[in-house]
Amino acid sequence: MPPLHQKLRRESGLLVGRPRSVWRHWRDPYHFALAIPWPAFLVLIATLYLAINLLFAGLFRLDPTGIGGTAQPRASFAEAFFFSVQTLGSIGYGVLHPRGLYANVLVSIEALSGLLFVAITTGLVFARFARSNARIRFSQVAVVHLYNGVPTLCFRLANERGNILRDARLQAFLAVDEISREGHRLRRLKPLVLERDRGVAFLLVWTAMHRLDASSPLYGLRPEELARLHAEVVVAFSGMDQTIERPVHAQAHWPLERLRFGYCFADMIDEAPEGGRDGGPRRIDWSAFDRIRPCPLVTTVAEPTP
């Protein structure tokens, strides 16, 4: 599932125009190195490693006799490059060696550069591995149906790791465009009170529910009004991972086209053939996590027989 900010750019229709240049990331290289995917991170490290060795290989070539132990009196570019690799990695096989003041100064500078490069790369790799990831799965859609006679907004989330998340907390908001009397346009987040917004432990599945009563920001709003307001439901989850003892976070959002009015989620509890409702084995049917079925929003009351 793409990050939330990418979804907002595609689906909300609020962020338009050409994206800013990628060079802006170099203003904050640490955040950039942690935010990019692993393949891009490895390519970046390999590119920097290659660039450093190419740079020092060119500098070593400025002194024709600065590298000893070469096949020819003047070191080739390949020999200068691999001498740089050995210097940067403190390998020191002993065949190639620096000669003269200029080459030894370059070796000293490259050795220091190698120490800094290894230290920074090690820190970035450790930070990326140590970063906590919630692995929370949210339902593809949110539904609105009657529950105990009251229209209720529902969505599901599941703990894909199956471990225990302590002190789990869930916050839901209605994001809408709002124009003040003076004509100022603002994007407002209005809290949606959930029937249960926290739990001692979150292990498998959580169905969050918000009643659309008179106190709800969604009360009385029809789908066409929600479309005019560019409305969407935004959710933030937080908890403490019991395994790694670190806080984890996740977020999701449902724009209007992913809100299903008059539908409800299918039951995920599957009765085993030998079990019954009064006892026996049961299991969770994960294939029904996103499955929905029609649920009328209007109750029908049977007329009394004369």
Q: What does each C-alpha distance from 235 to 2, 5, 37, 157, 239 come to in angstroms? A: 15, 13, 24, 10, 14
Tokens 């989620």, residue located: 265
Q: Which CATH fold would you assign to the domain 27-130?
A: Helix Hairpins (1.10.287)
Which two structure tokens, joined as six digits, stand for 84? 């740089």
Q: What does each C-alpha distance from 2 to 156, 253, 288 come to in angstroms? A: 18, 11, 22
Structure confidence at residue 147 (pLDDT): 92
> In terms of Cα–Cα distance, which of 196, 207, 230, 202 is closest to 292?
207
CA geometry: angle 49, 51, 57, nearest 5 deg = 105
Q: Bridge-partner residues for 164, per DSSP?
A: none
CATH 1.10.287.70 domain locations along the chain: 27-130
Structure confidence at residue 164 (pLDDT): 87
The 10 Å Cβ neighbour count of residue 56 is 23
Contact status, residue 130 vs residue 124, Cβ threshold 8 Å: no
Pairing outcome for strands 259-261 and 142-147: parallel
Three-state SS sequence of 258-298: HEEECEEECCCEEECCCCECCECCEEECHHHCCCEEECCCC
Say what the pTM is. Answer: 0.68
Which two structure tokens, joined as six digits, stand for 41? 């991170």
Q: Which CATH class is domain 136-294?
A: mainly beta
> Which stretches in the chain have pLDDT values below 50?
1-19, 21-22, 275, 300-306
Structure confidence at residue 299 (pLDDT): 52
Structure confidence at residue 279 (pLDDT): 55
CATH 2.60.40.1400 domain locations along the chain: 136-294
